[in-house]
Amino acid sequence: MQTALVAVENLFLYNMSNYTENDLAKDLENQEYKFGFVTDIETETVPKGLNEEIIRLISTKKNEPEWLLTYRLKAFEIWKTMQEPEWAHVAYTKPDFQDIAYYAAPKQTKKYESWDDVDPELKETMSKLGISMEEQQRLTGVAVDFVMDSVSVATSFKAKLKELGIIFCSFSDAVQEYPELVQKYMGTVVPNTDNFYAALNSAVFTDGSFCYIPKGVRCPMELSTYFRINAGGTGQFERTLVVADEDAYVSYLEGCTAPQRDENQLHAAVVELIALKDAEIKYSTVQNWYPGDKNGKGGVFNFVTKRGLCEDRAKISWTQVETGSAVTWKYPSCILKGDHSIGEFYSVAVTNNMQQADTGTKMIHLGKNTKSTIISKGISAGKSQNSYRGLVQIHKGADNARNFSQCDSLLMTDVCGAHTFPYIECKNPSAKIEHEATTSKIGEDQLFYCMQRGISEEKAISLIVNGYCKEVLNQLPMEFAVEAQKLLAISLEGSVG
Amino acid sequence: MNAITDSKLSEFCSQFSPSNIQGLQTLQSDAAAYLSKEVFPTTRNERFKYTRLQKLLNANFSPIETLSYEQISKYSIIKDVPTICVNGPQIFIPQQLISSVTISSIAESTLAFQSETYKDVFGAMNTLYASNGCSITINDNTTLNQPIQIIYLHSGGAHFYRNQLKFGKNAEAQIVLAHFSISNSIGFSHTHTQIEVGQDARIKLHKIQCCEEGHFDFNEERIFQDKQSNFEINTISLKGSFIRNDLSAQIQGEYAETRLNGAYLLNAQQHVANYTTIDHQVPNCESFETYKGLIDDHATAVFNGKVFVRQDAQKTNAFQSNANILLSENGSVNSKPELEIYADDVKCSHGSTTGQLDENALFYLKARGLSTKAAKSLLLQAFMDDVLQVFQPEQLHTFIFKVIATRFNWQIED
């Protein structure tokens, strides 16, 4: 009921008296990418191409210890033997891995003593992204780690976090300052042999974020990272590692944008979450990479490996709002290793024009009494293709495992596609697994019901779509919800009210 | 003709001689071209992800026995109906019933074979090596008041079979297709059945799989439905250590209705895989699919159902459900219900569940004096009921319940 009220309130902000479903579809088609600007900052890039030399160069530039270089080179060896996966329901021209510059750092790599030292142009970029740090610091209390073209340029609230023993820094800093932690956990959830893109990332990753919450600490604020691909011809290979020690709690936010370019940009990230006993990690993503233009030219290839490991009684919750990227290939997963551990996945994926998304989750139940919930909402508009692909796997020892999955798809035009490919594998007789999926357009009966009660068509559409997504959007932290509204430029909620 | 490059595949194919069926010849170059690019399926192949075929490769097929008509027809499920009997190269065709029904062996069939896109190597092999099978044509406006029965009794060896069923406009018929095998025989059979359902026709096909251990029972159905037709196929896997069903329905005429029901009751080391595809090509059609199964002991069940709605197929209603009860620690269930939808004005849904018997229901029955065994069998019966009730001719129904009762120790009241 509350959801509906909020939605109706929003509606009155807009005056669209003859707005129909067709107009909505048209609006979606015409919506241009809001974040398609290039920041003119001098960047330092290495020559294009991928070989052992480049990897050594990246490693040297980042002043990395020997073990990390070995890790990279090993990953590169493995990657060379691997085939690019083709099973996803997407069609695209494969990137030329020799035509990518694997390192692009803003040239001013010196550390900033205070916020005032930061290059004004960078600040400008941030405020265009709607994440002005001053504003954030003052108003929201969100600590932001901003990754632009691979190097983390500023972090805030470090001091306050440090008091609690929380480590929140760029991945490169973590390698320098906490090498033992990084070495201990890196690659334990996503090994460098995992898949083609994870191996590539392991070989050439440039930066990312590292977060460690010590035993029993509840992180008092939402930790946030922004990724942005700026320079042309560069891929973003960032690496995120979040470790919540026993009984710790953290809520982590990630937002992504990219400037508008004609060529496709590759983004192959690896995110690893480790929730030790009784810990809880909430990981939220708003992904708004440049989706390409109306004809499918340009846009980001988003090939991401995200996975979390739950020890006893731990909980990992993934929430994602996917609106951008030309091609998305992403399955945030949970390995429920510990007894009584919980995995959750909430997703809204919106595709428009020529976008293609193949996204979902994997819930691997290993421990006893493990639980998982999957709520996935897909919205296809334009000529896009939107697929849910998921795996629920109950292993032999996972007594009393419980899974509930719901995957709904909404079709906005008659030339788009919505697909569901769930894999359900059960090897334990005490497990209970439920999966349901529906595909439809906005029901005429629902519209009629609303309109019969005096709600105009456009408001009714918005109300229904709002209600359709709210289950997932409600999972986003409050601080991020506002942000998400802005970033979801092409989302239905933004378009309709 | 293109040569097969994969050594395992070519070794497997070497045991078959080229098909003697005239009509298949035009399709054979495509099939050979397909095979030349393929390898013998492993679990890396998406369609064989849960199916290991090493056993089939290693199998030592027993030599085929020549059987008399009486030996085969004794397996008839429904007595006193026209029955076609097949064993390896042998086929027994019943006498002409009425002029509007034509039954012949596939070699003598004059019907055309539909070209196809192969989904796996066995389909292509069938086109190249099919050696026997039957053809049934039912003319327009014909209503059969008794079912026609096709009995396959496998007595060893490896065989590809091909059947053609063609139902004319406004025809009404029931076909019972049953597979049995002689105990202690080791064999392989792959049966491809092409089913053409004419406009306004109302057709039911009951497929009974009741082979003994040691027989590899592969099946492929290709259904083509014309407008306003009503087609129902009911598949039950009662016995057999290795069963694979690949069912594909192309709905080509508007206002057609398709029902797919499946039941599998597995124990011991059984492996049963059901692959279904419903391809909605035109608007205003409905499809309903229900597959249910019990999995006990070391058995494995695989269900992969796909509903495909093309861009033109507006106003499609498609429902699919798969429910499983896993009864043992060593059993496994793999379910993959798929929706692939390119039209917007549709209502499509699927559901899949895997679980066990409701403790409360069990307690309720036991509190009323039923033994654990009786209570369990009652609940399992109730669970399977909707997919068992569809086997309607009474003799068929009785037969099915008898087999289940013996295998699962169900206590069934007559």
pLDDT digits (tens, 9 = 90+) for A112-126: 445 555 556 555 555
A51 SS3 class:
coil
Distance (Å, whole) CA A484 – CA A131: 11
Residues B356, A429: C-beta atoms closer than 8 Å: yes
Q: Which residues on adjacent β-strands are paired with residue A327?
A: A301, A356
Read off the tokens for A215: 């035993």
Q: Which residues 162-201 on chain B approach chain A with CB closer than 8 angstroms?
A: none
Q: Which residues on adjacent β-strands are paired with residue A409?
A: A378, A439
Kindly tell me the burial class for residue A56, based on how many C-beta atoms sit within 10 Å of its own C-beta (0-12, 13-18, 19 or more).
middle
B358–chain A Cβ distance below 8 A for any pair:
no
Taking CA–CA distances from A426, the nearest residue in chain B reads B333
Helix, strand and coil content of chain A, in percent to the nearest 5, comes to 30, 35, 40
Q: Which residues 64-93 on chain B approach chain A with CB closer than 8 angstroms?
A: none
Look-up of token digits 């594998």: A425
Strands (E) located in A151-298:
151-155, 167-170, 207-213, 223-228, 238-244, 249-257, 264-267, 270-275, 280-288
Whole-number mean pLDDT of chain A?
77
Taking CA–CA distances from A395, the nearest residue in chain B reads B332
Distance (Å, whole) CA A365 – CA A372: 8
Are the C-beta atoms of residues A254 and A240 closer than 8 Å to each other? Answer: yes
pLDDT (0 to 100) of residue A153: 40
Nearest CA of chain A to the CA of B303: how many Å? Answer: 10
Which residue from B213, B357, B185, B329 is spatially nearest to B271, judged by alpha carbons? B213
Read off the tokens for A240: 């995120």
Distance (Å, whole) CA B317 – CA B345: 9
Residues A87, B46: C-beta atoms closer than 8 Å: yes
Residues of A in contact with B277 (CB under 8 A): none
- Percent share of chain A, pLDDT over 90: 35
pLDDT (0 to 100) of residue A494: 34
B299–chain A Cβ distance below 8 A for any pair:
no
Residues B354, A433: C-beta atoms closer than 8 Å: yes
Q: How confident is the model at residue A226 (pLDDT cuts 50, 70, 90)?
A: low
Residues of A in contact with B327 (CB under 8 A): 429
pLDDT (0 to 100) of residue B368: 94
User: Taking the CB of residue A478, how many other CB atoms lie within 10 A of it?
Assistant: 8
Answer with the residue of higher pLDDT: B161 or A324. Answer: B161
Backbone φ, ψ for residue B13 (5° rounding) = -70, -25
Stretch among A14-23, A137-146, A302-311, A394-403 having the lowest mean pLDDT: A14-23
Residues A433, B349: C-beta atoms closer than 8 Å: no
Are the C-beta atoms of residues B68 and B78 closer than 8 Å to each other? Answer: no
Are the C-beta atoms of residues B220 and B123 closer than 8 Å to each other? Answer: yes
Taking CA–CA distances from A401, the nearest residue in chain B reads B355
Name the stretches of chain B with pLDDT < 50.
Answer: 414
Residues B346, A433: C-beta atoms closer than 8 Å: no
Mutation target vs A (from B353, B354, B357, B360; most A CBs, 10 A cutoff): B354
* CA B131 to each of CA B16, B114, B200: distance values in angstroms, whole numbers, following the listed order: 9, 17, 32
Question: What DSSP designation does A189 have?
Answer: S
Answer with the residue of higher pLDDT: B121 or A463. Answer: B121
Mutation target vs B (from A400, A420, A444; most B CBs, 10 A cutoff): A420
Amino acid identity, residue A22? N
Residues of B in contact with A429 (CB under 8 A): 326-329, 331, 356
Are the C-beta atoms of residues B50 and B335 closer than 8 Å to each other? Answer: no
Residues of A in contact with B338 (CB under 8 A): 419-422
Are the C-beta atoms of residues B314 and B342 closer than 8 Å to each other? Answer: no
Look-up of token digits 């068509």: A457
Taking CA–CA distances from B304, the nearest residue in chain A reads A423
Residues of B in contact with A415 (CB under 8 A): 311, 342
Residues of A in contact with B332 (CB under 8 A): 425-427
A409 SS3 class:
strand
Are the C-beta atoms of residues B174 and B206 closer than 8 Å to each other? Answer: yes
Taking CA–CA distances from A410, the nearest residue in chain B reads B344
Distance (Å, whole) CA B278 – CA B397: 27
Answer with the residue of higher pLDDT: A149 or A460. Answer: A460
Read off the tokens for A418: 């919505």
Distance (Å, whole) CA A291 – CA A356: 9
Residues A435, B339: C-beta atoms closer than 8 Å: no
Nearest CA of chain A to the CA of B73: how many Å? Answer: 40
Q: How confident is the model at residue A150 (pLDDT cuts 50, 70, 90)?
A: very low
pLDDT (0 to 100) of residue A132: 46
Q: How confident is the model at residue A23 (pLDDT cuts 50, 70, 90)?
A: low
Residues of B in contact with A86 (CB under 8 A): none
Residues of A in contact with B350 (CB under 8 A): 420, 435-437
- Percent share of chain B, pLDDT over 90: 85
Stretch among A7-16, A167-176, B63-72, B302-311 having the lowest mean pLDDT: A7-16
Residues of B in contact with A432 (CB under 8 A): 353-356
Are the C-beta atoms of residues B261 and B233 closer than 8 Å to each other? Answer: yes
Question: What DSSP designation does A165 have?
Answer: T
Residues of A in contact with B313 (CB under 8 A): none
Residues B336, A423: C-beta atoms closer than 8 Å: yes
Residues A435, B331: C-beta atoms closer than 8 Å: no
Are the C-beta atoms of residues A199 and A193 closer than 8 Å to each other? Answer: yes
Angle between the N-to-C axes of helices A2-11 and A457-473, in degrees from 0 to 180, rounded to the nearest 10: 130
Distance (Å, whole) CA B61 – CA B55: 11
Nearest CA of chain B to the CA of A362: how many Å? Answer: 14
User: Taking the CB of residue A179, how many other CB atoms lie within 10 A of it?
Assistant: 14
The angle formed by the CA atoms of residues B166, B167 and B169, to the nearest 5 degrees, is 135
B314–chain A Cβ distance below 8 A for any pair:
yes
Nearest CA of chain B to the CA of A138: how many Å? Answer: 46
Residues A437, B353: C-beta atoms closer than 8 Å: no
CA end-to-end span of chain A: 18
A173 SS3 class:
helix
Taking CA–CA distances from A418, the nearest residue in chain B reads B341
CB proximity list for A493: less than 8 A, separation 6 or greater:
A462, A465, A466, A469, A473, A485
Q: Which residues 320-339 on chain B approach chain A with CB closer than 8 angstroms?
A: 324, 326-329, 331-339
pLDDT (0 to 100) of residue A183: 92
* CA B51 to each of CA A294, B210, B222, B303: distance values in angstroms, whole numbers, following the listed order: 43, 20, 22, 11
Q: How confident is the model at residue A259 (pLDDT cuts 50, 70, 90)?
A: low
Residues of B in contact with A419 (CB under 8 A): 338-341
pLDDT (0 to 100) of residue A294: 77
Count how many pairs of residues, chain A against chain B, have C-beta atoms within 8 Å: 117
Mutation target vs B (from A384, A435, A446, A447; most B CBs, 10 A cutoff): A435
B357–chain A Cβ distance below 8 A for any pair:
no
Residues B350, A437: C-beta atoms closer than 8 Å: yes
Mutation target vs B (from A439, A442, A444, A446; most B CBs, 10 A cutoff): A439
Mutation target vs A (from B44, B308, B344, B356; most A CBs, 10 A cutoff): B344
Nearest CA of chain A to the CA of B203: how many Å? Answer: 29
Which residue from B229, B169, B170, B31 is spatially nearest to B113, judged by alpha carbons? B31
CB proximity list for A324: less than 8 A, separation 6 or greater:
A256, A257, A258, A287, A288, A289, A290, A291, A300, A302
Are the C-beta atoms of residues B171 and B138 closer than 8 Å to each other? Answer: yes
Mutation target vs B (from A28, A384, A427, A447; most B CBs, 10 A cutoff): A427
Answer with the residue of higher pLDDT: A460 or A18. Answer: A460
Q: In this structure, are strands A315-322 and A342-351 parallel, antiparallel, or unpaired?
A: parallel
Residue A32 pLDDT > 70, yes or no?
no
